């Protein structure tokens, strides 16, 4: 039986990385510099620790670093990863960044919606809120994976636009928090209810460090402001 991943990695610019740990309730992000990210990628790909350390020490020695100092620093770094429990949890392979993707801006608030889309938006958001409020995020990830087994045709970009708007309108009636994680998962569920399929994505960025969740239809990012300075985010999880 395959092991369910608990750690998801985003490959960030400059060789850095961000790791989402789903063992906590809503997920916790750890941001790594290039050296820590290289060590992390090697370890999670199955390379033995001793080999990873030797390769990195050789690399830094060629740059003029003292081998003993490099070994001490890398051993300390590995110890920190171990103290966080990251070396004991199953990690999913890090997706390779897709490069620059088209970003579709949100539809105007006055856009007309069908009754079916409005209903799917309400039910999809309710399901997302229930899961994210009452269970750890890994439960939502498991549920989303389970729904992908059903036959659904890919949503066209304009269909995904409408469903995300339906979810956001439904969120206006919700007294609590309904942000990107709730909206994106709610849209994933709403698309499923309408016999469609979108991609649910959770990712991160750096400088400054942050995380975000969104949906895609094909290769297009749905319902985001393309001029917003926070883009681009790099995916860690795609369902």
- 215/207: higher pLDDT: 215
* Of 59-73, 140-154, 185-199, 220-234, minimum mean pLDDT range: 220-234
Hunting for tokens 């620790």 — which residue is that?
49
Compute the residue count for the chain: 239
Q: Are residues 150 and 208 in the same domain?
A: yes
Choose among 153, 226, 214: nearest CA to 187.
214
Domain assignment present for residue 229? The answer is yes
Residue 27: its pLDDT value, please?
Answer: 84
Domain assignment present for residue 126? The answer is yes
Residue 54: its pLDDT value, please?
Answer: 92
Residue 229: its pLDDT value, please?
Answer: 54
Mean pLDDT throughout 18-40? 91
Q: Are residues 149 and 210 in the same domain?
A: yes
Distances (CA, A) of 21 to 1, 15, 72, 98, 238: 21, 20, 26, 22, 15
Does the predicted model carry a pTM greater than 0.85?
yes
Last residue of a domain, which of 38, 63, 83?
A: 83
Residue 138: its pLDDT value, please?
Answer: 94
Mean pLDDT throughout 15-33? 91
Give the chain as a 3 state SS string.
CCCCCCEEEEECHHHCEEEEECCCCCCEEEEECHHHHHHHHHHHCCCCHHHHHHHHHHHHHHCCCCHHHHHHHHHHHHHHHHHCCCCCCCECCCCCCCCCCCECCCCCCCCCCCHHHHHHHHHHHHHHHHHHHHCCHHHHHHHHHHHCCCCCEECCHHHHHHHHHHHHHHHCCCCCCCCHHHHHHHHHHHHHHCCEECEEEEEEECCCCEEEEEEEECCEECCCCCCCCCCCCEEEEEC
Residues 6+ apart with CB under 8 A from 168: 106, 121, 183, 223
Q: Are residues 124 and 218 in the same domain?
A: yes
The number of CA neighbours under 13 Å toward the Cβ of 143 is 17
Q: Are residues 73 and 119 in the same domain?
A: no
Residue 153 domain boundaries = 115-238
Q: Are residues 55 and 149 in the same domain?
A: no
End-to-end CA distance of the chain: 20
* Of 31-40, 88-97, 140-149, minimum mean pLDDT range: 88-97
Mean pLDDT throughout 180-200? 97
Residue 176: its pLDDT value, please?
Answer: 75
pLDDT band of residue 231 (cuts 50, 70, 90) is low
Q: Are residues 77 and 122 in the same domain?
A: no
Residue 230: its pLDDT value, please?
Answer: 57
Residue 208: its pLDDT value, please?
Answer: 82
ω into 208 cis (within 30 of 0): yes
Domain assignment present for residue 106? The answer is no
Domain assignment present for residue 95? The answer is no
Give me 1's structure tokens.
């039986």
Q: Are residues 150 and 55 in the same domain?
A: no
Q: Are residues 32 and 119 in the same domain?
A: no
Q: Are residues 119 and 79 in the same domain?
A: no
Q: Are residues 23 and 123 in the same domain?
A: no
Domain assignment present for residue 88? The answer is no
Count the neighbouring beta carbons within 10 Å of the beta carbon of residue 214.
24
pLDDT band of residue 99 (cuts 50, 70, 90) is confident
* Of 101-105, 158-162, 195-199, 230-234, minimum mean pLDDT range: 230-234
* Of 96-100, 153-157, 200-204, 218-222, minimum mean pLDDT range: 96-100
Domain assignment present for residue 53? The answer is yes
Domain assignment present for residue 92? The answer is no
Q: How far apart are CA 146 and CA 239, in angstroms?
A: 10
Give me 188's structure tokens.
């994933």
* pLDDT per position as a tens digit, 168-186: 999 998 877 788 999 999 9
Percentage of the chain lying above the pLDDT 70 cut? 96
Q: Are residues 29 and 76 in the same domain?
A: yes
Contact status, residue 7 vs residue 19, Cβ threshold 8 Å: yes
Domain assignment present for residue 99? The answer is no
Last residue of a domain, which of 62, 83, 104?
A: 83
Residue 175: its pLDDT value, please?
Answer: 79
Q: What is the rounded average pLDDT for all residues in the chain?
A: 91
Mean pLDDT throughout 17-43? 91
Q: How far apart are CA 124 and CA 167, in angstroms?
A: 7
Residue 53 pLDDT greater than 70, yes or no: yes
Residue 2: its pLDDT value, please?
Answer: 59
Q: Are residues 77 and 119 in the same domain?
A: no
Number of folded domains in the chain?
A: 2
């Amino acid at each position: 039986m395959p092991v369910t991943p608990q750690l998801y990695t985003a490959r960030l610019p400059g060789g850095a990385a961000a790791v989402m740990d789903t063992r906590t309730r809503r997920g916790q992000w750890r941001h790594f510099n290039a050296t820590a990210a290289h060590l992390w990628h090697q370890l999670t790909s199955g390379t033995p620790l001793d080999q990873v350390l030797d390769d990195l020490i050789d690399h830094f020695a060629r740059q003029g670093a003292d081998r003993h100092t490099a070994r001490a620093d890398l051993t300390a770094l590995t110890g920190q990863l171990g103290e966080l429990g990251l070396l004991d949890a199953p990690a999913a392979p890090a997706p390779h960044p897709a490069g620059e993707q088209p970003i579709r801006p949100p539809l105007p608030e006055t856009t007309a919606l069908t009754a079916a889309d409005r209903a799917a938006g309400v039910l999809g958001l309710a399901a997302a809120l229930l899961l994210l409020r009452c269970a750890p995020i890994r439960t939502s990830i498991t549920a989303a994976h389970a729904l992908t087994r059903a036959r659904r045709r890919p949503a066209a970009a304009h269909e995904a636009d409408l469903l995300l708007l339906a979810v956001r309108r439904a969120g206006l009636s919700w007294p609590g928090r309904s942000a990107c994680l709730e909206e994106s998962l709610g849209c994933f569920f709403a698309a499923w209810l309408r016999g469609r399929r979108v991609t649910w994505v959770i990712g991160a960025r750096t400088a400054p460090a942050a995380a975000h969740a969104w949906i895609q239809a094909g290769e297009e990012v749905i319902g985001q402001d393309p001029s917003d300075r926070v883009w681009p985010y790099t995916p860690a999880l795609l369902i």
